[in-house]
Structures are given as structure tokens and as C-alpha cells.
Amino acid sequence: MGFTLPSAGVTPAPGVKKIVAVKVSVVIPVFNNEATVGAAIESVFAQRFDGQFEMIVVNDGSTDGTRKVLAEFGDRIHVIDQERRGVSAARNAGVAAAAGEYIALLDGDDLWTEDRLRKTVQALDQNPAGVAAFTDGMLVDAAGVVVVSKFVPPECEHSPTLDEMLGRIWPMMVSSMTIRRETIGATGGFSEEFGAGDYFGEDVLAFLLLRERGEIVYVPETLTRYRISEFMQRLGKRLHPSAVGGKAASGALADPDSYFAGNRIFARLMVERFGDRGRPLAGIAMDRAASEQVSLGMLAIHEGDRAYARRCYLSSIRRRPLMLKTYLRLGWALLPESLARALSPMFSPRLLRGLSGPPLLDERPQ
């Protein structure tokens, strides 16, 4: 697979002394998280945890005020600055610089509840065969409003087998994971074939490699607050316009094909690593990309950007040409807006929404 971790000699920011005897190293990758990283760090300092921990924040080439926010914490945190290389490389750099027995992952826009660290560490201390532990969590939007109160469905409320994890995208949030450092080092960490902007599957693949080496223990408590991306917020019916600056501009997102490059990388790596056993997840990745492109197209047409909607639908069709509803949506997007408006009264509200959007999180296009 070619997975590599940076050298263990990665040096923290000048003037920062590295703690040696620590139980847990908290690794936080950040990229342009000026608005959220302060709260993420404070949620770590608020932990009810008796052991010693260090916090390593990897600044992955941020261009906003993230570095200034980090500087306000002084030597309470360890900062590693690197050029923009992507979240996999940032996490790997943090792990390589870590001294703890355990690695606790937290993304720069997520939050922990006060018992997150204590309970995952306890789960691993009590289970020597466990290589990692994960918790349940909730999804919140940019304003902190709960969108989904429980992330792990009932059928997944247990420690999964490898076969189970190869059969579906297992509901493991990165920010809910605590991992034995020696194990993540042995697996090579997160694949750096996922570069900057390739936001799908690097975590799923890393957790599969962990599961090959031992049990991933489930802690059945909601201990993580996962902030959904702006992309997902804009698809959600609970979207608060004020949270993302008012009416979204669909063209602000990347090209509808390149935006999902991570899905292609993940699909390829799954087959390379697991052969036929990896094909179900590879297929899920490509189906999800096609579905998300349809959702993005529905959002675009709802906002009046019919040209961008057509690009999304065509990109989806290239991935999954047998999704027949996408052709209907493409045909609708090809109509002049005036003609579509004139024809709209002829359709039922359900059908019209399926053509004109917006998409809903609980009714994603198939």
C-alpha cells in the first residue's frame, strides 16, 4: 500500500518542550479552522481525566487566522507547522511526534464531552486485546445546533468484526477514536495518497488496517460532537442561512467531478489492499459520490444555477450510468428556466421537489 509515517524526529514548534511521560497524545490536524479550533482545544482541556496528556496541533498550511489562535495557547499545546499536504499527512505528522501510549484523534472543528478521553482510555486499559476504542456521537451544524443526536445506529452498537467493516461504512467518527500508538505506527497511519482536498475514505481505510490487528472496542456513550461540513449543511433541511453567510453559491464548490476525487482513491486502494473483499466498500464509495453529485445538482438548480446542476448530473452519470432518475433531472436542468417554470404546475409537489430541489438529508436522491 505504500503507507508511511513521517520520521519520529519531527520537531515541534520552536520553544515548545515535548512532554515525555504521557498517557495520551491528542492529535489535532487543522486547516483554516480559525473559527472552531479554539473551542476544540478547550474541550480537551476540559476533560475529566486523571492521566497526563499532551496536545499536538498540526497546522496544515492554514491561510486564515488559525496560527494566531494557536499562538494564544502558548506552551500549553505543541504546534507543528507544515505546508499544505492534506489531513492524512497532518495526522501522521502528529502521530510521529507523539509520546503517549495512546493517540486520541480530534479534528479542528469538532468537540469532546468531558468524559471522552477518560472512557476511551479506560476501555483500552481494561481490554489488552483492543487496539482502538470509539464512541457514539452527535452531529451539529456551524451554529452548534444538533442535527443528529445519535450517530451510531442500533445495529452497529458493538465492536465490529473485520467482515462487518468491509461490508459497509462503519459509523466511526475520527474524533471519537483513541488508538494504541504502537498499533497505528505498525499500520503506517493514514494513507497520504489522499492529498489536500481529497475528503473521503482515508479514515475508513486506516481503521480497517487497525481492525486487522485487533479489536476496535465500542464505548456506547455519546461523547463526541461532530461538526458537519458546509457542504452537508447546505444539503440539510436544518440549515440556518446565517451559519454559512446566507444564500449559498453552488459555484463556490470545486468542480463536481474533482470534488469527489477521494472516493476514487479510496475505491482503488480498497481493491488493491483487500481484493474482492474490498469491492463492496469500493462500490459504496462510488455510489456515494454519484449520489452526492446529484444532491449538489439539486441544490444548484434550487438556487437557480442550472448550468452547474447540469455539470453535476453529467458527472454523476459518468460514475453510475444506470441511475435513471439522474437522466430525468438532467433533462429538467436542460430546459430554459422560463419553460421549467411554466411546466411546474403540471407536476405533483413531490415530483417537482425531486426535480428542482432542494435535497433533504433524510431523503437523499437514489
Q: Dump pLDDT digits (tens) for 280-295.
A: 999 999 999 899 889 8
pLDDT of 261: 85
CA dihedral for 208, 209, 210, 213, sign (positive or negative): positive
Grid cell digits, residue 109: 472543528
| pLDDT given for residue 13 in this prediction | 45
The pLDDT of residue 319: 87
Determine the residue type at 90.
Answer: A
pLDDT digits 0-9 by tens, 2-27 = 334 444 433 444 444 444 578 999 99
In DSSP terms, 135 is beta-bridged to 219
SS (H, E, C) 38-78: HHHHHHHHCCCCCCCEEEEEEEECCCCCHHHHHHCCHHHCE
Task: Give the C-alpha separation, 193 to 97, whole Å.
Answer: 21
Q: Look at residue 143 in the predicted model and tell me its pLDDT.
A: 77
Residue ranges for the chain with pLDDT beneath 70 = 1-20, 229-254, 360-366
Task: Provide the angle, in degrees to the nearest 10, between the axes of the packed helices 261-274 and 202-211.
Answer: 20
How far apart are the C-alpha atoms of 186 and 211, rounded to whole Å? 12
**Which residues on adjacent β-strands are paired with residue 102?**
24, 180
Question: What single string gives the DSSP state of each residue in 134-145?
Answer: EEEEEEE-TT--
Give the per-residue pLDDT at 254: 58
| pLDDT value of position 21 | 74
User: Which domains occur in the chain, in start order?
Assistant: 24-228 (3.90.550.10), 235-356 (no CATH)
Determine if residue 275 is left, alpha or beta; phi over 0 gives left, psi from -120 to 50 gives alpha, anything else beta: left
189 vs 87, 123, 180, 183, CA distance in Å? 12, 21, 11, 9
Q: Supply the pLDDT for residue 338.
A: 93
